[in-house]
Structure 1
Amino acid sequence: MILSDKFIEEVQILDGVDLNSYEKIINFAISYIVKHDTQTTLAEVLEIDENEADRYFRLALKLVSYFGKFKFGDRQFRQNVEFLKFKEDRKALFLQKLEANSTQLHKRLSFIESDGMPYYKNLEWRYDIQIASRGYEEEFKPRIFMKFDLEYDNSRECGKIEQVFLETDYANLKNLQQEISYLVSQLESARQQKIKKLGQML
């Protein structure tokens, strides 16, 4: 799978920072994935505004996570690197950091890589109610309609968007809500919480 134009455009923002800050941003993202290091924030490291630092962090996390899933130096890895439009010194530094941490990155990110695991966006919903009448003999059943986009972010389907339409009733939706609430409640350990947070940010 080759990098999408959208992915390339988003991470290109990192190419605009100075080399010293760029190195710190990449190091921070790698450390977060490999060591789950959250003792300091990127804003503290760079001494910049939190919103700006968070933007850089998310982009670096996306970049490192994408390439970290590949075996360093294999054909697909090299093909994707060629599509990055970074300056040569930044590209070389990025590859150096990836190579030094390739084993740990691949191990940590292997649980994320799968055939699915997309995230949703552009959610729209509608609640339909049938107005009762004397001639209406069927059971009253309100319906819920939802439409949203699934965007895939794994190496095989990065950038792929699938539009989904769902129709259900209140009872099934309530049951789904309870099931999700139960599953979320099981994520109690510190490690599971960090994995959950990382998955949400990718």
Structure 2
Amino acid sequence: MLLSVSTHHKKHLNVLSSQPKSVVADFCKLTSQFLNSGPNKKRYTSAAEKLAVSVDVIENCIYGLVHLVHLASKQKISDHDFEDSALALGFTEEQVSVISQFYQSIKGDVEKLDDSVLNEPHYHDLQWRFEVQLSSRSLLEQVTPLVLMELSLKSPNTNNSNLNIKRHLFQTDPTNLLHLTNELDRALNESRSRYSRKVQNIISNIQ
């Protein structure tokens, strides 16, 4: 069974298939680093200068390889079918040998990543209320505002919709709540970044 790669990613892989075997090996290393620790702009810039292309071309080639190995892992195709798929995409036998070795080296990690992503709980609901601590044994005159929150998370792959919702109760003060809000804002802004949008596009195309 050959992999069905979208036209969008075929275009990126076609750029890579026109490169020598040594360059393909370098891209496999960059892709492995990307999967382990995210993008490395400095190395992408260096690679772009060596090949006389834009950084976008380097990134797109890496995303194309990510899409290819992720799709192969998801469909659990044989090594032979993976190699035939790469040949059908225009890679030479020497290039396929490099890409196949790369895929074998990371296949287990990609499968674990797929399982962890699919099984992660997601936000379902949040309820909160203010509380005020007026005094304690050590401090008779104090007013300490507190926020009590109940966060509900929903886990996938459960038939009973009531059983896959877990509620977490926690309490915090305004200072920690402000810090939490800032961290969530930072994460939200990161999810809107160019890099995150490209990763989301890869995942949506795979699914």
Name the TM-score, length of structure 2 as normaliser.
0.47
Name the TM-score, length of structure 1 as normaliser.
0.48
Higher relative contact order (CA 8 A, sep 6+): 1
